[in-house]
Structures are given as structure tokens and as C-alpha cells.
Amino acid sequence: MHSLWSKIQDKNEFKSLNSNINTDILIIGGGICGVLCAYFLQKLGVKYVLVEAKKVGNGITKNTTAKITLQHGLIYDNLIKNFSLDIAYRYLKANQLALEKYKELCKSIDCDFEEKPAFTYSLENRLKVENEIKALEKLGCESTFESEIPLPFKISGAVKLSNQAQFHPLKFIHEISKDLNIYENTFINKIKNHTAFSEHGSITAKKIIVATHFPFINSHGFYFTKMYQHRSYAIAIKGAPQIDGMYVDEKQNGMSFRNYKDLMLAGGGDHRTGKQGGNYKELQEFIAKNYPESKEKYLWATQDCITLDNIPYIGNYSKFAPNLYVATGFNKWGMTSSMVAATILTDIILEIKNDFSDVFSPDRPALKPQLFINLGETLINFFTPTVKRCSHLGCALKWNKAEHTWDCPCHGSRFEKDGDLIDNPAMKRANVE
């Protein structure tokens, strides 16, 4: 199953690493976050290398629904309550600047960029929507309350933000990456001191950015305790109406919608990786009931890293690794968060003051309820008796019937039926015999 975006042909050709080289900055991971880091560093004349295990944009980036917005669910009321008005304002401002940067870049890139309103709706809790609008008003962000949206169900209310955006992510990434210093099909299997090793060569760098979706270095940062992975599904159908906007349920397991040309994209069926959920069946049943004349054109799934407090981890990998940096935990909002991350990391590396870096610092307190849920999940699955184990930290693997893969409920690594690695933090195949 391949996403709608994957049908385009990538005309870029990047060689594999077959020697030992030196650089100032090494970026590991060729998704949109890593590519944006490389793009900005090149514009600033910094010597860098980007390595990608497979093909640029061929990981999580190709499976996004590609919404560019500062509206990340009903987040701002929670940020004010759980952190402060200042943290909420700077989170909003960082994402607002990211949106504006996309608008600027996409003026000269053919990537089907469109400005669209964004809506976060609630099926049953009007008060949560009203509180979010009040929070946005405190932060100086204009929003409106909507009692109806052009979707086939009733809502209690929705927050509308105008002038947000959507685009074709692979058209964008292929265009901005074409002149960058990239090695594809170069899997980094180890980092020691300032050197990263692949099967056929090594790269020694003064500073290293890990932009691999889920960080793979276990000895620093303990990201396998501070995040879990969440699986969701998407369907693109022809014959459904234009809805003129981007829509998302405020609940994590709710549905999302947008158009791309004459197609409607619907997302949902969510569950923690390795657990059971609605998956494709939930989406197909919804479409059959509400758009019976439509035709299914594409069907795919994606995976998101969820942090303890719904703020990404961007900055130093850990306080014990001063020249190692990370961008992860985008909480389903990878497009905008990738731009935020690239901006912050570029400033940190060049020792430029950034007004938002402390908001996203990975070193912030980790004593949150989700931490204990993550630890409990790890303990349960570590001691579950089965021979099929994840090659990351040894948790029991679960069979994903919808996608015919072996998935890890602890940290979200995924493997093909024969054990070949699909998604990190695992770094090698699993024994599933």
C-alpha cells in the first residue's frame, strides 16, 4: 500500500557513501526535517553532509497528510494551564513563523501549495472548543467558533484558524533537496565519539544532528522512555465533495480530513503501535456509510512519535553529549514541527540566540503521567513469553493483521513478516522464526 504522494517520480539521484569523509555538520535522516536542516545550512555556507538509510522523503514524510498549521489540536489552552502563558505564546509564535517560512519557500516551488483554513472540532465537548478560543485570544491569535462544518456528522463546535496551508510534501522535498550534499542508501549503524559508521564508510563531524524520526542512540537522552509511537491510517477517495479546509478531531483517535485536487483524504483508525485499533476497516466503513458513490484510490498508514507533554524534543540530544542534537516527537504535526526544528537547530549550531529553543528543549522535566504508562508498557511486554522479540530492547512483538508486520508496543519499532527492519528505534532485523 502506497500513499497518494508516492506516485510521483523522484528525479534526484544521490550516491551512497563508499569512503571515509570529514565534515563540520552531519545530519542523519533524510525526511523533511533533515532536508530542511541541510537546506538552511547550505544557504548559510556551512559545510555539512546528510545521510539517508533509503531514499530521501521515503520514510514517514511520504505518509503524512501534509497539513502546515500552527493549530495542533486544542493545544493552547492546555499549554497555558500546564506550563505558562509565555510558553504557549512562544510555541504558537514558533509555529507561526514556520508557516510563514513555508509560504515564502513555496512561492518558487511547484508543490501544490494552497492556503486553507484549519478546523479542530469536538463531537461532544463545546466547552473545550470555547476554552481554546479564549486561550488563542489571550495569545493574540485570531480564531472563530464554528457550529457546523461540511462533513457528514454533527459537532459540538470547532475552532477555525484562517490562512493555514497544505501541500504535496514529496514535490516540496524533492525540489529543495536537488542541490544538497546527500548520500542515500547509507544506513548509519553506530556512532562513536564524533564519527558515524555505515557498512561502506564513515563520517567524522564536529556536530551531529539525529533526525531519524525516533532517536536510535539509547545511551543518551532515554527517548525510549519519553516517547511512544502511534499508528494511524489514511484513505484517499474520488467522488466526495470539496470541503475547502483541513479538519481534525480534538481526540487523538478521531478522524481528520482534507482535499487534494479532486480527492478527499480521510485519516483515522488510530492506535498505539503494537496495539489493536480501528485501522483501515474503520475508515472504509465510514466512507461506505457516508460517501457510498465514492471510489477508493489510495490507502496507507503512518507513524507518529508522541511525547510526554505534547511538545516536540528539539535541541541537544542530552546534556552529556554537547555536540549531538535531536529533532523528534512531533505529535502528528511533522510538517510545521520540522520547520521549527530546522530553524532552532540551525541557530543552536551556529551559536545564534533563538527565542524558542528552551520551549522545545529535550532536557525539560520528564515526570509526567505518560512516562509511567510508557514504562509499564515496556515492563509488560519485556516479560511477555514469546520467541518473537524486538531487536531494540527485547520486547515481545505483536502481529499487525492490517499491515502484515511485526510491531513493538514498547517503542514502536516495526518489522516485515520475515523480520526485516521497517521503522526504528531498532537498528537491525528481528528474529521472528
* Continuous H helices in 232-333: 279-290
Look at residue 296 and tell me if it is in a domain.
Answer: no
CB 102 within 8 A of CB 73: no
- Section 353-369 average pLDDT: 94
Which CATH number goes with the domain that contains 398? 2.102.10.10
Look at residue 416 and tell me if it is in a domain.
Answer: yes
Look at residue 382 and tell me if it is in a domain.
Answer: yes
306 has a pLDDT exceeding 80: yes
Give the rounded percent of residues in the chain with a pLDDT score beyond 90. Answer: 91
Condensed to tens digits (0 to 9), the pLDDT of residues 48-104 reads: 999 999 999 999 999 999 999 999 999 999 999 999 999 999 999 999 999 999 999
Look at residue 378 and tell me if it is in a domain.
Answer: yes
The pLDDT confidence band at residue 252, using thresholds 50, 70 and 90, is confident
Q: Could you give the CA distance from residue 248 to residue 121 in angstroms, rounded to a whole number? A: 6
Give, to the nearest 10 degrees, the angle between helix 32-43 and helix 334-349. Answer: 40
Q: What is the pTM of this model?
A: 0.95
Q: Could you give the CA distance from residue 345 to residue 352 in angstroms, rounded to a whole number? A: 10
Look at residue 376 and tell me if it is in a domain.
Answer: yes
How many distinct structural domains can be found in the chain? 1
432 has a pLDDT exceeding 90: no
CB 304 within 8 A of CB 330: yes
Condensed to tens digits (0 to 9), the pLDDT of residues 372-390 reads: 999 999 999 889 888 899 9
C-alpha cell belonging to residue 258: 482534507
Say what the pLDDT of residue 10 is: 82
User: Worst-scoring range by mean pLDDT, 9-23, 112-126, 129-143, 337-351?
Assistant: 9-23
Look at residue 254 and tell me if it is in a domain.
Answer: no
Look at residue 374 and tell me if it is in a domain.
Answer: yes
Look at residue 380 and tell me if it is in a domain.
Answer: yes
**Host domain of residue 403:** 369-423
